[in-house]
């Protein structure tokens, strides 16, 4: 009985117990909260059945404000995963009672925020769970169905008590202020809705979100997966949608050719191009070792928002595709609480004046910066040269002499782990270049690029460029199943609970591994896209081509005593698909360079590398994280 009583009581997290004055407090009953479902008219007819689609919207909101004639702000998560796959580390799904009323809301948002005076709204994207229409992978239907809910919450839309027919219902309990959040696909929807400039969307909190769907499937023409958005749609559609959405799936397949060429489908799903419309503040979270939704998405979205003066904040972890609730739980809940209090309730709690960036330096150890990329960061050029050991190059500021080359042959079986482990050896599948041990730490903060000139032996070629920290460290094991976390047996409760939705979750801990090197940024391209990033061309064997490989955003410090390396190679096994041929590539060293975001710029590079002693290569390969595994093609599973 004691356990049941505990579940029914308002269970306050350790973070909430230390709540400071001037913030929302858990004064409303969660047990007696209003739980309801409505169907919002999207004004779209995605399944072409002759009537506009309605999307299911499940709501939990405190009863007392409505009884007192007061309205409340909304925290909203729009997702395709509420019935097919689940949300969070425990893959929770929505559940309902025998009258169809919501019982369990996945995650802790309702448990924690409803007692504090917020409504929590979970939206089934069109074509999923209890909604009409068709999923269209970040397109007009996905974004439009979520935007329609924001409009309804602001008094500008229509909703009904049933999927068909029903009684009109108004959101007369909403004050019109909405914050969207969620991980991965859910985060992507938040990005896309913000890029419409919709009124009433005050803030978004995208966790590992996609900013351009082309960049989820391709890297400058190089395919990151062996399937396209039509396959993804098939995974998440409701049984009813699968009967009616074949035409939409065909459009997805036809509009996303495996050549990697840009089409109108990708333009529609590129939110970066519409960053000028964003009026919401943005609190972005991303794992720097996320090999599902790569940090290129975070970097380009962040830079676009910065250009348009959007208020923003960022957390960068050492994890892979992981929610901050599972790698920094207490600090995350507190920070998110203050963020929503400020942007949705108007509390002047200082969150908008706090340091802009938190970066995880070691498992569980964080640093802060007042802005990001770090103040004083400048694009700085490093160049590869031949070294004294045959086949083992040098990375520095000096330009290689005209005619200097390095060669490698694409081996689709090898990955960045294989290349980095043998950086000090001449191996046929890579061209590697490294500094001597650094005299001072060297920090890279932001996005960079590697420009290469290569001559292929065949008519097709894929390229990879990776940055490596060569030296011993303990890092999160991002290539393991937990992507840097391990799940424990014990639970803690974050907010209030009922027997059907306890608000209690398994704790996690860092999953760490000792390594001899760390790959911390990557970029890929199809060499056939040398003339146009959006359209490939056949290559002429024996002819040189130049192309820039965009590196994923990162924030990494290479410590003094470690070496810093650049590797250029072909197929990065497990991360990009191989080309049709197996080319040998000749790298023109005099026309190859890395333009990298170094904090302190060229002077910092000079301090770290000037007068460094000659390096003696180790006799054995270095140890690192296991080679990248074949990752999920679902951008938010888990």
Distance between CA atoms of residues 460 and 438, nearest Å: 38
Chain centre to alpha carbon of residue 279: 21
Distance between CA atoms of residues 469 and 435, nearest Å: 10
Per residue, the 3-state secondary structure of 524-568, as one string, reads EEEHHHCCCCCCCCCCCCCCCEEEEEECCCEEEEECCCCEEEEEE
End-to-end, the C-alpha distance of the chain in Å comes to 32
Q: What b/e readout covers 403-418, taking b as 16+ CB neighbours within 10 angstroms?
A: ebbbebebbbebbbbb
**What are the residue numbers of the active site?**
184, 290, 321
Contacts of 280 (CB under 8 A, 6+ apart): 179, 180, 194, 201, 202, 203, 204, 310
Distance between CA atoms of residues 445 and 370, nearest Å: 13
Three-state secondary structure call for residue 200: coil
119-124 and 72-79 strand pairing = parallel
Do 58 and 139 form a contact (C-beta atoms < 8 A)?
A: no
Do 80 and 125 form a contact (C-beta atoms < 8 A)?
A: yes
CA atoms within 13 A on the CB side of 71: 15
Helix 246-254, helix 229-236: angle, nearest 10:
150
Q: Which residue shows structure tokens 């489908």?
A: 265
Nearest to residue 180, comparing CAs of 405, 340, 395, 403? 340
What is the number of residues in the chain?
Answer: 638
Angle (nearest 5°) at CA 497 between 491 and 503: 40
Do 494 and 503 form a contact (C-beta atoms < 8 A)?
A: yes
> Would you give the DSSP letter of residue 435?
P
Q: What b/e readout covers 191-209, taking b as 16+ CB neighbours within 10 angstroms?
A: bbbbbbebebbbbbbbbbb
Contacts of 550 (CB under 8 A, 6+ apart): 219, 220, 296, 447, 449, 523, 525
Q: Kindly tell me the sign of the dihedral angle through the C-alpha atoms of 416, 417, 418, 419.
A: positive
Indicate the burial class of 455 (C-beta count within 10 angstroms; 0-12, 13-18, 19 or more): buried
Q: Which tokens is 124 given?
A: 């089934």
Within 328-481, where are the H helices? 329-345, 416-421
Nearest to residue 444, comparing CAs of 548, 359, 320? 359
Number of helices and strands (H, E) in the chain? 15, 32
Distance between CA atoms of residues 515 and 607, nearest Å: 26
Distance between CA atoms of residues 3 and 5, nearest Å: 5
Question: Element (H or E) spanning 464, and its range?
Answer: strand 462-476
């Amino acid at each position: 009985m004691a356990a049941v009583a505990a579940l029914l009581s308002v269970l306050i997290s350790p973070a909430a117990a230390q709540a400071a004055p001037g913030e929302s407090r858990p004064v409303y009953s969660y047990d007696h909260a209003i739980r309801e479902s409505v169907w919002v008219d999207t004004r779209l007819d995605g399944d072409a059945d002759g009537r506009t689609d309605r999307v299911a919207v499940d709501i939990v909101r405190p009863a007392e404000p409505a009884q007192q004639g007061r309205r409340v702000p909304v925290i909203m998560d729009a997702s395709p995963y509420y019935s097919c796959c689940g949300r969070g580390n425990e893959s929770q799904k929505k559940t309902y009672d025998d009258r169809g009323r919501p019982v369990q809301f996945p995650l802790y948002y309702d448990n924690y925020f409803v007692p504090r005076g917020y409504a929590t709204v979970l939206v089934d994207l069109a074509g999923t769970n209890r909604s009409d229409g068709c999923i269209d992978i970040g397109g007009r239907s996905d974004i439009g169905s979520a935007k329609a809910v924001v409009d309804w919450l602001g008094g500008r839309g229509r909703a009904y008590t049933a999927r068909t027919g029903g009684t009109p219902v108004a959101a007369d309990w909403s004050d019109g202020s909405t914050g969207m959040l969620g991980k991965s696909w859910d985060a992507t929807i938040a990005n896309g809705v913000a890029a419409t400039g919709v009124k009433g969307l005050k803030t978004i909190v995208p966790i590992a979100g996609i900013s351009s769907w082309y960049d989820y499937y391709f890297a400058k023409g190089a395919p990151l997966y062996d399937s396209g958005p039509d396959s993804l749609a098939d995974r998440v559609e409701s049984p009813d949608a699968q009967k009616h959405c074949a035409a939409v799936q065909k459009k997805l397949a036809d509009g996303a050719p495996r050549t990697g060429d840009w089409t109108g489908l990708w333009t529609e799903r590129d939110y970066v191009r519409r960053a000028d419309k964003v009026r919401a503040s943005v609190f972005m979270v991303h794992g720097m070792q996320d090999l599902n939704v790569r940090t290129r998405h975070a970097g380009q979205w962040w830079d676009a928002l910065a250009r348009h003066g959007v208020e923003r904040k960022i957390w960068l972890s050492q994890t892979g595709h992981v929610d901050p609730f599972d790698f920094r739980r207490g600090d995350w809940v507190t920070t998110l609480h203050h963020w929503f209090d400020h942007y949705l309730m108007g509390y002047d709690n200082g969150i908008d004046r706090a340091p802009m960036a938190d970066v995880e330096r070691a498992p569980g150890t964080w640093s802060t910066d007042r802005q990001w990329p770090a103040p004083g960061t400048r694009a700085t050029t490093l160049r590869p040269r031949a070294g004294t050991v045959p086949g083992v190059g040098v990375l520095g500021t000096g330009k290689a002499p005209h005619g200097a080359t390095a060669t490698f042959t694409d081996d689709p079986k090898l990955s960045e782990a294989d290349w980095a482990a043998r950086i000090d050896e001449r191996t046929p599948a890579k061209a590697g270049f490294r500094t001597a041990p650094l005299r001072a730490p060297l920090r890279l903060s932001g996005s960079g690029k590697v420009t290469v000139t290569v001559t292929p032996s065949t008519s097709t070629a894929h390229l990879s460029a990776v940055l490596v920290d060569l030296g011993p460290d303990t890092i999160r094991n991002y290539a393991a199943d937990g992507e840097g976390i391990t799940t424990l047996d014990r639970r803690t409760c974050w907010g209030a609970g009922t027997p059907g939705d306890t608000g209690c979750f398994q704790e996690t801990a860092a999953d760490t591994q000792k390594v001899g090197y760390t790959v911390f940024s990557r970029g890929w391209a199809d060499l056939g896209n040398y003339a146009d990033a959006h359209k490939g061309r056949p290559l002429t064997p024996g002819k040189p081509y130049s192309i820039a490989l965009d590196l994923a955003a990162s924030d990494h410090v290479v410590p003094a005593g470690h070496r810093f390396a650049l590797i250029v190679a072909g197929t990065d096994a497990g991360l990009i698909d191989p080309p049709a041929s197996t080319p040998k590539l000749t790298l023109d060293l005099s026309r190859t360079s890395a333009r990298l975001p170094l904090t302190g710029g060229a002077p910092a590079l000079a301090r770290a590398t000037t007068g460094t002693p000659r390096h003696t290569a180790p006799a054995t390969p270095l140890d690192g994280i296991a080679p990248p595994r074949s990752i999920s093609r679902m951008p938010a599973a888990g």
